[in-house]
Amino acid sequence: MTRLAPRGDTAVSASRRRPFRFARPLPLLALLALGLAAGQPARAADAWPSQPVRWVVPYPAGGGTDVVARTLGQAITPALGQQVVIDNRPGAATIVGADAVAHARPDGYTLLTADTATLAANPALYRKLPYDAGKDFVHVGLVARFPLILVAAPNFPARTLKEAVEYAQQNPGKVNFASPGAGSPHHLAMELFMDQTRTKMTHVPYKGAAPAVQDLLAGQVDLMFLDLAAGQQNIIAGKVRALGAATPRRLAALPAVPTVAEAGVPGFEAYAWQGVVAPAGTPRPVVVRLNAELARALRSPEVQKRFEGIGVEPVSGTPEEFAQYARAESERWGKLIKAKGITVD
């Protein structure tokens, strides 16, 4: 399991010493009030959860995102002592689900699967959103990354990534590529790829990965960045040709497939990632507890085996590390979206 690197320690300066003075004894009622106040956070944290926790998934049931949430929800239910209920609210590039959670009560009983679209791409793709990605959520933890692989249709003339780049350079605008939708991680990965290879290809957006893959298999489109979860079976079966993985190292599931960097595009890396957030204002003890339970679940052999089976890489880290990662991704993809003039409004 991948873990985000911890942030460095910060030095704390020592306070000046002051002369010791005996304080006046506090009245009994004041002492009792202080004791009650000191015990409230601990009791509040201990009491949570006292009812089922709703986990909003902004995608339809049955897909990779849904499987990740259900796997983790089932894994943390025994430790929480309450059922984690998955609530699928698909629509508008995760905006429907994100809007519902952004305006939910910050009591620890509503969670959201927030991904690359929710936190990194949508703020740049849409002129107006019903939620503020930077202010309306508190980050709980990153949980998964979906490796992306550049694949070619069976009838595409290039056999390798190098040949594909050369062919695209010689035929500007004539090579087309599919994506599950404008602004999706798959689409943005190809925009980044075209930038770094100085190629120009035509985007063909679809409503989801399934119809895009169908047309790729039929040779109606030439290329596509496909996530391992959706494309692993077709790649292994040889129905599509894998040209390169957009990961720093070769994938264990596809050891014969070189990375895009190995194949001739140095430093190229792109993922579709997912994490868990809650409404801003959710109590810190609840966020810490959730983060710990998710991290424990992600280390379990059962969860790791399930993730491996669907082509997903488990990732863990602190809430602060997830927040930092999401900000960096927002800056990275936001810059590309604006430079390319990509909009979906």
Q: pLDDT of 240-290, one tens digit each?
A: 999 999 999 999 999 999 999 999 999 999 999 999 999 999 999 999 999
Confidence (pTM): 0.84
337 token code pair: 């979206």
Residue 40 pLDDT level (bands cut at 50, 70, 90): very low
Q: At residue 38, does pLDDT exceed 50?
A: no
- Mean pLDDT, residues 315-338: 96
Predicted confidence at residue 46, as pLDDT, reads 62
Predicted confidence at residue 184, as pLDDT, reads 93
Cα angle 333, 111, 344; round to 5: 35
Query: Tens digits of per-residue pLDDT, 13-26?
Result: 333 333 333 344 44
The packing angle between helices 64-80 and 301-309, to 10°, is: 170
Return mean pLDDT, the chain: 89
How many other C-beta atoms lie within 10 A of the C-beta of residue 110? 21
Report the percent of the chain where pLDDT is more than 70: 87
Report whether 64 contacts 312 (CB < 8 A). yes
Query: Tens digits of per-residue pLDDT, 166-224?
Result: 999 999 999 999 999 999 999 999 999 999 999 999 999 998 888 999 999 999 999 99
Predicted confidence at residue 45, as pLDDT, reads 52
209 token code pair: 């990965």
Q: At residue 143, does pLDDT exceed 90?
A: yes
Residue 4 pLDDT level (bands cut at 50, 70, 90): low
Q: At residue 300, does pLDDT exceed 80?
A: yes
The HSE-up count of residue 144 (CA atoms within 13 Å, CB side) is: 29
Which domains are delineated in the chain?
49-146+271-340 (3.40.190.150)
Query: Tens digits of per-residue pLDDT, 85-128?
Result: 999 999 999 999 999 999 999 999 999 999 999 999 999 999 99
- Mean pLDDT, residues 296-302: 97
Q: At residue 42, does pLDDT exceed 60?
A: no
Q: How far is CA 111 from the centre of its chain?
A: 14
Q: At residue 7, does pLDDT exceed 70?
A: no
